[in-house]
Structure 1
Amino acid sequence: MKYLLIGIAFLALVAIVRAQSSCHLRELDLCLASGLASGQNLPTTIAEINKQCNGFKEMNECIGNYSRRCSTKAMRDFMRSVTSQGDVKSWYSEFCTKDSSEEREKFLKHSTCLNTAQKESRSCTRDLTVALDKAINSDIENRIPEMCCAVRRMRKCSSDIIEGKCGKEGMKYMGQMLQSVAGTRIPEIACRDYDPTSQKCVSILPAPGTKPGNTKSNSVLSRLLNTYSAL
């Protein structure tokens, strides 16, 4: 759930990696795995927050090094414009560099409940994984609709669980936090016409609960989400 809003942007980065002998997607797997390992659950103490922030810092540095070697300049500029926005820097500064901050206090107020809700929402993540696998192997003209429907369905699925467990206040905080972490509403805006309950989405998405295929996914994000949802 942590990077839900930048899933599409990340897939775009993976999709245009240059074919170089020095670039292997396994490297990107390892970068993401380091962040995933530090963030399997939402932290509920200051010590856990510090540990997770260190893990995400290492992950971002690893992805940055990979991106500089293996992606186009246009994509690097795009990703830099997203991650350097004021909201992202401000949130990171408040959350990860100050032991006592208002952002940490707000987070810890909701973290126990959100942690429980996050664990229950892993079925939503599994459905997203299956849908992304289908989308990444679809024709170009079908890829964006399938990805948008998949992300919108996952958001609705997760939001329903969070609101049921943590109430409207918890749901509101989670939305605000994700917006601050992502730093952009591009996926949300780009996908606003794709109602996950519409016939348009229902007809192209795998049914909820569909099991993943036996073949290894071509999507790095999908593979990492699959690992996360199985934890």
Structure 2
Amino acid sequence: MAERRAMIRSLLLIALVAKCTALPPSCDKCYIRSLDNCAAGLFLFATGNKVPETDADQEDFCRSQSEAQVWSRDYVQRCTRGMTRGYADRFLDDIKKEIMERCFKSSSYRDDFTKYAPCLNKVGSKFHTCVKNFIMDLDVASRLEPRQRITGGCCKYKKLEVCMSDAIRGTCDKGAHDFVKRLLKHYEGNMLGILCVNHWDKAKCEAIKYDDKPGDASLRSVIAPLIKVLEAIDA
């Protein structure tokens, strides 16, 4: 049964990708800014304070996110190297899995998303601020010297988890809280879960000295500054 569900989800993604448009000219360049423009929609609440509540809106949203995942993968394959490429690919695998489960109409994850979307949208502006700050924080972490950069990026992800958990507290019920935990677990996935296992330490996080310059507020995607953090592995 599990294998059958996995096969159906794979076919769903193929169907979604088949509907995707060709790689836009703006994405066909090895510039981080090009990636940022094309990958902005990968994370929920990255580009706005609402998620779709109806099946029709979810279909369009799923297609848009699938396109962003395909375009991001193309960039990673063309424009990164070594372990940076490997970890970026693994990150996109985790993102793809989240999209597939949420877009598969017979999944419990999809059912929970539909059930809790209205309440999530009540705190959508807070979620959007959490993700936006995370993107800027990753940009700050990307300026650390290589030996501290991974730890810095991992610590910033923990800050995102705390921010989103705090945002929903007192507004939505336990079921919505649990859904947000599942969402964050998807985003953590195999890549951050493996890469950060030895870096999620309060003392290590508090010991890092970031520069005083704020993160780039014009960045819209998580993966663009994340790749700059990952490049420390190959430095």
TM-score normalised according to structure 2 size: 0.63
**1:63 maps to which residue?**
72
The secondary structure found in structure 1 opposite 2:189 is coil
Q: Aligned partners of 2:89, 2:220: CA distance in 1, in Å?
A: 22
Q: Aligned partners of 1:92, 1:126: CA distance in 2, in Å?
A: 20
Unaligned 5+ segments in structure 1 are: 1-20, 226-231
**2:6 maps to which residue?**
none
How far is 1:65 from its partner?
A: 2.1
Alignment CA distance shift 1:177-1:146 (3 Å): closer
The secondary structure found in structure 2 opposite 1:166 is coil
Q: Aligned partners of 2:46, 2:161: CA distance in 1, in Å?
A: 23
Match of 2:168 among 162, 178, 182: 162
The secondary structure found in structure 2 opposite 1:51 is helix
Match of 1:106 among 102, 112, 117: 112
Are 1:95 and 2:102 matched, yes or no? yes
The secondary structure found in structure 1 opposite 2:164 is helix
Q: Aligned partners of 1:125, 1:94: CA distance in 2, in Å?
A: 21
Q: Any idea what the Cα deviations from partners look like across 1:24-73, whole Å, max 9, x if unmatched?
A: 22321221146579963211111111111010111112122222222226
Alignment CA distance shift 1:224-1:33 (3 Å): farther
How high is the sequence identity, in percent, across the aligned residues? Answer: 27
Letter paired with 2:168: I
How far is 1:129 from its partner?
A: 3.7
Report the RMSD for the aligned CA atoms in angstroms.
4.1
Q: Any idea what the Cα deviations from partners look like across 1:179-206, whole Å, max 9, x if unmatched?
A: 34x47244245256535xx455345367
Are 1:187 and 2:192 matched, yes or no? yes
8 Å contact 2:127–2:167 — kept in the other structure?
yes
Are 1:201 and 2:205 matched, yes or no? yes
**2:214 maps to which residue?**
212
Are 1:32 and 2:39 matched, yes or no? yes
8 Å contact 2:148–2:208 — kept in the other structure?
no
**2:143 maps to which residue?**
137
**1:4 maps to which residue?**
none
Query: Alignment length, in residue pairs?
Result: 196
The secondary structure found in structure 1 opposite 2:183 is helix
8 Å contact 1:67–1:76 — kept in the other structure?
yes
Match of 1:171 among 169, 177, 182: 177
**1:228 maps to which residue?**
none
Q: Aligned partners of 1:224, 1:137: CA distance in 2, in Å?
A: 10
**2:56 maps to which residue?**
47
Alignment CA distance shift 1:116-1:203 (3 Å): farther
Mean Cα displacement is larger for which, 185-194 or 26-35? 185-194
8 Å contact 1:38–1:52 — kept in the other structure?
no
**2:222 maps to which residue?**
221
The secondary structure found in structure 2 opposite 1:23 is coil
Letter paired with 2:144: S
